Amino acid sequence: MTSMPKPFIDKHLPKNELGLTVRNYEGSMSTLCAGCGHDSVTAALVQAFWELNLAPESAAKVSGIGCSSKTTAYFMGQSHGINCVHGRMPSVATGANAVNGDLHYIGISGDGDSLSIGFGQFAHAIRRNLNMLYIIENNGVYGLTKGQFSASADIGSKSKKGVANEQTPIDPCVQALTLGAGFVARAFSGDKSQLVPLVKAALMHKGFAMIDVISPCVTFNDHAGSTKSYAHTYKYYHPLVHTDFVAHAEEITGEYAEDGAMRVTLHDGGELRLRKTDSDYDPRDKAQAIETLMMNDGGGEIRTGLLYLNEDMPDMHAANHLPKTPLNQLPYEALNPGKAALASLQKRYR
Amino acid sequence: MKPTDTRDPDYYHKVVDCQWACPAHTPVPEYIRLIAQGKFTEAYLVNRRSNVFPGILGRVCDRPCEPACRRGRVEEEPVAICRLKRVAADHRDEVEHLVPQKPAQTNGKKIALIGAGPASLTVANDLAPLGYECTVFEAHHRPGGLMISNIPSFRLPEEVLDTEIGYIEKMGVEIKLNSRIESLKGLMGEGYDAVFIGSGAPKGKDLKIEGRDEAAANIHIGIDWLESVAFEHTKSIGKRVLIIGVGNTAMDCCRTSLRLGADDVKVMARKPRQFFKASPWELEDAEDENVEIIVNHSPKRFVVENGKLTGMEFELMEYELDEDGEITETRKAGTKIIPCDDVILAIGQENAFPWIERDLGIEFDKWGVPVVDETTHASTLPGVFFGGDSAFGPKNIIWAVEHGHQAAISIHKHCEGEALDERLPRGVNLASAKMGVNEWMYSNTYDGAHRRDMPLVDLKARLSNRKMEVELGFDAERIATEVQRCLNCDVQTVFEAPLCKECDACLDICPVDCLAIVPDGEEAALRASLKVPAANKDQALYVSEPLKDTGRVMIKDENLCLHCGLCAERCPTAAWDMQDADIFIPHVDNEAGKVAAE
């Protein structure tokens, strides 16, 4: 961490459609270790939300426990938010989403919070297709308790003391795919050119959008032998798909633009342009996505980008026929229809 | 792009915009930090080594440092550097025993210096402590040159001048007053080892238009008139005064007129305000005293009735400007007579050398200006050197001081029989400013406070006394606030490429987005690749060696860097460090080996 907050100077910066500079999207001073990948994720979120012209008051930030979960304090200081019990963020997000579907839900979690203590919660949030952006800041290690292997540590990856992990890792992207998520991506904190458009696309996706961000722990997992270090990630980093997010889509004449990019319109606005980098990867083919991740014999390459996208799944609100109007905007009469209505309801269960 | 060579002493020097812009390269941030610590004496001495006259310059310097100050780009206004210099002078303890002293014995070399202005005095200041026998010849009865004759006492009190000239006299320098040199040939026959000419640009320009001769009694040449006031030969002026010209001399003339009895003073300018030569603060000070500045009036003739000046006729000018603000067309749209009792001409000055025999071997160009080497200040006659306004025409005190420093080096080399152009190079000495985890030997917090204004004496009181200093100096609150506005640009961001692990931490924390890690390319492409493109080409772009993991380069736009050190605080490997850059500016004592080069 630094000794002081970042000085606020923004006269040199451009303003977005809301008249805000990117600095207006920052939060309080980070207390994470100097060089933590999570701070870079924060910077990518700040940039993405500024570019999206997102009104800070239209967003709700939710998180659990862990270094990662502190992130919500470091961006959009003027948004709604709650820091929950360890691993229970998905439940709180589900409740909040049920009563107010108008807000943009931004969940920040870690490999411990989502893949260990909160694994069940994580699974059910996906199953319900909660309309939210769900970021896992994945560093393969429990940084807050001084560096034990987490559930995402790779076999053979070495701890700071030199001991190799022997347990099978949980891959959050494979899990999300098999549980039915409609937006699954993997990114790296060191590459904002990929992460920023993915964050924008994920927020505009109607339904559960997960980005697993490899975000190195600079203190406990950034040494030689670690498979989640900066050096290792840079060495094996391999984007499968290049994603551009275009806020105001022009008229679409064909599915493929002249540059060979695949175009996908998002339900909540904007358009994605996906360009394959060097393979025949199709992010709409779930089987291929799973195969690409599980049968990774490409010399340990870290395959990143938008791995899977399905825009045609009903989210929790649609599937459960929940009221479109947030409960805090419904008239009292609608929220509390009175004794007669209660009696009529109870009669159905007699 | 080629990686930046930060061993080039000029690279980090340029980052310290104020020091780079100062002709004498005063280490401004260093003395501001000393003031912040209450070390006024030390701050004064740091100043004195570079600019010799901190008390004088703290009042009347032309301040090239301030328009250069980075603070002016980061927010609205630069640090009040000049005001802080005066703070160091105002609050210093006795320094007489701390400035260079008279040596126990001289080296037998005799140097003649002509004109006791800032250039000659600086040469003497540098050479006398080394043993040189310096004799200054001054035409007037007081030393100081234009500092005493042209700068009014209400801006520069005589005591301040006397004290700072006194330090130099006490080094064993002899100042011969009332000793105008009428013949250089004669002087050179007296056995001097070298002669320095710092006689200034004493000839004010005249305006030979209709009526000039008839009304001569009420038409004054600005610098002569100021001198006459300073030496108390002139004690009054008419009620209505017109000043022709709008440079700093004009500002001194109009404000002096108000103190000698004028109550309607107009400064007449030929062109619009953006073309004025006067410093903005001098214009402000004059307007604050209700001087009217009238633009677009070009002098046509002096109006004389019954042999007496009654007014002046002007052509009314109209200008067409292009996009760059340059005048493309000039039109005359009639004339106008403005009544007045006196006119003061402040339209420039030039150097004049009627006392230098043209057969001595000193070459002059077709305008009568001596041919002088810009680095060594040598004339075409070995052993004769020029400095100050007499060398390259009218500049200002701080330039004269720098000329003096350089001429002193040349004079020493001339006397030692060394080549004049083999001079010590500048240097830079870097030392980490790190004291502990996130602790630095300077205050790295950014203070958003705005520039403090100078408190002034009440208008009525100041006009009643020509010698009353108008500016009161900074009080404790102003000092405390203003010192924190300095960004400490001399504490440099130093990058060690092999240590970088490309975590982006520095990029994310930088409050002015001046850093990026990008694929290498041409300068234009690199400048455009920053989040906020580096558009100010006057400011350097730092480019690192390729980074080990990706081969990309770290770039830094020096333009808006706050030197807050957050990049270094956020860096997990100390690839970024904050290092105090001590810029070594050689003086003659370094050349003479009396002070070790750092």
Q: Is residue A36 in a domain?
A: yes
- Does B532 contact chain A (CB < 8 Å)? yes
Query: Residues of B with CB below 8 A from A40's CB?
Result: 503-505, 508
Q: What is the pLDDT of residue B598?
A: 41
| pLDDT given at position A257 | 56
Any residues with CB less than 8 A from the CB of B476 and at least 6 apart, and which?
A: none
SS (H, E, C) A249-277: CCCCCCCECCCCCEEEECCCCCEEEEEEC
- pLDDT value of position A79: 97
Q: What is the dihedral of CA A283, A284, A288, A289, to 10 degrees?
A: 50
Helix (H), strand (E) at residue B81: helix B81-90
Q: Report CA Rg, chain A.
A: 21
* A 235-254 → B contacts, CB under 8 A: 235
Does B572 contact A189 at a Cβ distance shorter than 8 Å?
A: no
Residue range B17-31, pLDDT digits in tens: 999 999 999 999 999
Tokens representing residue A251 in the block: 């008229």
Reading chain A (350 residues) residue by residue, the pLDDT tens digits are 889 999 999 988 999 999 999 999 999 999 999 999 999 999 999 999 999 999 999 999 999 999 999 999 999 999 999 999 999 999 999 999 999 999 999 999 999 999 999 999 999 999 999 999 999 999 999 999 999 999 999 999 999 999 999 999 999 999 999 999 999 999 999 999 999 999 999 999 999 999 999 999 999 999 999 999 999 999 999 999 888 888 765 555 445 555 667 778 887 777 888 877 767 888 999 999 999 998 876 568 899 999 999 999 999 999 999 999 999 999 999 999 999 999 999 999 98
Q: Which residue of A has its CA nearest to B560?
A: A12
CB nearest A4 (choices: B445, B502, B507) = B445
List CB contacts (< 8 A) between B445 and chain A. 4, 7
Q: A13 Cβ partners below 8 Å, 6+ apart?
A: A21, A22, A23, B513, B532
Q: Is the CB of residue B512 less than 8 Å from the CB of residue A12?
A: yes
CATH architecture of B110-202+351-416: 3-Layer(bba) Sandwich (3.50)
CA A80/CA B303 separation, integer angstroms: 78
Nearest to B566 among A6, A37, A192 (CB): A6
| Count of domains observed in chain A | 1
Weakest-pLDDT range from A21-25, A251-255, B404-408, B438-442:
A251-255
* DSSP annotation of A165: P
Q: Which pLDDT does position B426 carry in this prediction?
A: 95
In this complex, do B507 and A43 lie within 8 Å of one another by their Cβ atoms? yes
pTM for this model (two decimals): 0.91
Interface probe with A: pick from B441, B501, B552, most Cβ of A within 10 Å: B501
Residue A297 lies in a domain: yes
> Does residue B352 register a pLDDT over 90?
no
Structural domain boundaries in chain B: 110-202+351-416, 204-346
The residues facing B293 across adjacent strands are B267
Which overall architecture, per CATH, does domain B204-346 show?
Answer: 3-Layer(bba) Sandwich (3.50)
Cβ–Cβ contact A39 with B under 8 A: yes
Asked if residue A100 belongs to a domain, the reply is: yes
Task: Decide if B496 touches A, using CB distance below 8 A.
Answer: no
CB contact under 8 A, B503 and A40: yes
Angstrom CA distances, A220 to A33, A137, B452, B490, stand at: 10, 15, 48, 35
**Residue B429, exposed/middle/buried by CB under 10 A (0-12, 13-18, 19+)?**
middle
Evaluate if residue B597 carries a pLDDT over 50: no
| Nearest of A172, A179, A173, A212 to residue A313 by alpha carbon | A179
Can you give the CATH number for the domain in which A228 is found?
3.40.50.970
Residue B376 has pLDDT above 60, yes or no: yes
A12 with B512: Cβ contact below 8 A: yes
Taking residue B169's Cβ as centre, other Cβ atoms within 10 Å add up to: 18
Bigger pLDDT: B597 vs B378: B378
- Among B437, B438, B439, B509, the residue to mutate for chain A (most A Cβ within 10 A): B509
Residue B596 has pLDDT above 50, yes or no: no
Strand, helix or coil at B588? helix
Q: What is the mean pLDDT of chain B?
A: 95
Q: Please indicate whether, in this complex, the C-beta atoms of A43 and B562 are within 8 angstroms of each other.
A: no
Contacting A residues, span 167-206, partner chain B, CB-CB under 8 Å: 189-190, 192
User: What is the pLDDT at residue A246?
Assistant: 84
User: What's the mean pLDDT in B404-433?
Assistant: 96
Token representation of residue B107: 């080296």
Q: Which candidate from B503, B513, B569 shows the least CB-CB separation from A218? A: B503
Q: Is some CB atom of chain A closer than 8 A to the CB atom of B514?
A: no
Question: Residue A80 belongs to what domain range?
Answer: 22-320
